[in-house]
Amino acid sequence: MKHYPMYINGKAVRTEQLLEVINPALGEPFAVVDTGLPEHVDAAVAAARAAFPAWSALPDAERKGLLHALAGTIERNMPELMELVTRENGKPMNGLNGIGSGMEIGGAVAWTHVTADFDLEPEVIQDNDVARIEVHRKALGVVASITPWNWPLLIAIWHVIPALRAGNTVVLKPSEYTPVATARFVELANEVLPAGVMNLVMGGPDVGAAIARHPDINKIVFTGSTRTGKRIMESAAASLKRLTLELGGNDAGIVLPDVDPKTVAPKLFGVGFHNNGQTCACLKRLYVHESIYDDVCAELARIASGVKVGDGMDPSTELGPLQNRAQLDIVTNLAADARERGGRFLSGGQRRAGKGYFFEPTIVAGLSNGARLVDEEQFGPILPVIKYKDIDEAVRLANDNPNGLGGSVWSNDLALAAEIGKRLECGNVWINDHGAVQPDAPFGGVKQSGIGVEFGKQGLEEFTTIQTVKIMKN
């Protein structure tokens, strides 16, 4: 098995603590990584802090150029990185509707290029005979990134590239389930960036806890569960760290009665099941008007029954396994609870026999709010479809959840759908789509789905502090 080290101050770091990384399609290890201790976090933070003055002082054009060069390095190594993501995460190389490892690495390249070109020019709010007042955006210092296992490399890019663009240095901790592609990325990054600008410490919760409480880290950006986000927030309070938290989602979609079930069902299935439902902003609860409910359910079940599930290394595979056994157990338990509550399983509903963490694509009818499968984020290939009578009821049910990441409305009447979408309590609303993000449009949640935004100029600003400069002229 190939061995991947940590990186601190531009150098590979080996340790005595080794972790085997499991291929979820086989349930067997395929690589091994070095993992760290809190003292490795200390060393990585010290390296990042030492590199910060020179990195933040680089001329803007030079820092942009290095990030564009990094994007080119990712692109040149795309086949290798795609394979690593597929082996550690399970997502197919191509995937349902083209959403797989190819999209993940291609997205990482595009996100890096676009973010590199963002500018944060000083804002002049007064310039007269009395005074000139400028508002400047300045880098924070050391930014720590803690990433999840569902989009291991792309989310790392979402975290670290705006941090670097703003002039910060980085300590990156990937999920212990999926550290390999990130480790290779950091190795490549250290061929482009100055030593200490990008550091990697791998490990489990003890490493994450050491990062969260470290006094010399200025900001933490975290994507993951609401429960873990709250713990990070508690630890960060001691030093008043800045935070960006993209947490759990239980996104609702509302289908109005004017759509054609056969036309809309493939789109609904795609946005609910890509990456096997393991995306924060996947469609996870679907509310369908009673007049078309049975037809939409039937079409979704038909599609689910025909999807090819298997090892993601097979280019024809559309859906792979769940990433880990614990997540497979969550989905299995939610399915069992749905059965006990009278849910009608129109497709799937079972773990697939044999190797790997596979669960059949599943459509469940006959449930409503109050069932665990509706109320909780399933993060897997199982979708509850809920019947509603009028739009006020649909909006009430959609908003009846502590999460508020994304939502969608599906209709031929775009103006009406947009007005309904604005009533949803979520940070992101899509009309006739769901979960489509892009690097120039801000993305973030409300309620217990997070704090702050990512992407676009607004997301870049979250990696800075404001300094107001007032120049008196009298």
Q: CA dihedral in degrees (184, 188, 189, 192; nearest 10)?
A: 170
134 is catalytic: no
Tell me what percent of the residues of the chain surpass a pLDDT of 70.
100
What pLDDT does residue 466 have? Answer: 97
SS3 state of residue 31? strand
pLDDT greater than 90 at residue 162: yes
| The overall pTM is greater than 0.95 | yes
What pLDDT does residue 399 have? Answer: 98
pLDDT band at 310 (very low <50, low <70, confident <90, very high): very high
Token readout for 196 is: 């200490």
Token readout for 247 is: 């947490």
- Convert the pLDDT of each residue in 407-419 to its tens digit: 999 999 999 999 9
What pLDDT does residue 260 have? Answer: 98
pLDDT averaged over the chain?
A: 97
What pLDDT does residue 423 have? Answer: 98
pLDDT greater than 90 at residue 207: yes
- The sign of the dihedral angle between the CA atoms of 145, 146, 150, 152 is positive
pLDDT band at 143 (very low <50, low <70, confident <90, very high): very high
393 is catalytic: no
pLDDT greater than 90 at residue 339: yes
What pLDDT does residue 65 have? Answer: 98
Q: Round to whole Å and give the CA distance between 148 and 448.
A: 17
Catalytic position from the list 88, 176, 246, 462:
246
Domains defined along the chain, listed by start: 2-247+449-472 (3.40.605.10), 251-438 (3.40.309.10)
Cβ atoms of 18 and 32 within 8 Å: the answer is yes
Catalytic position from the list 88, 104, 176, 280:
280
SS3 state of residue 302? helix
What pLDDT does residue 407 have? Answer: 98
Token readout for 61 is: 């054009």
CB burial string 308-347: b at 16+ within 10 A, e below: ebbbbbeeebbbbbbbbeebbebbbebbeebeebebebbb
| Averaged pLDDT, 277-286 | 97
Q: What are phi and psi of 109, to 5 degrees?
A: -65, -50
pLDDT greater than 90 at residue 262: yes
- Antiparallel, parallel or unpaired: β 283-289 and 219-223: unpaired
pLDDT greater than 90 at residue 474: no
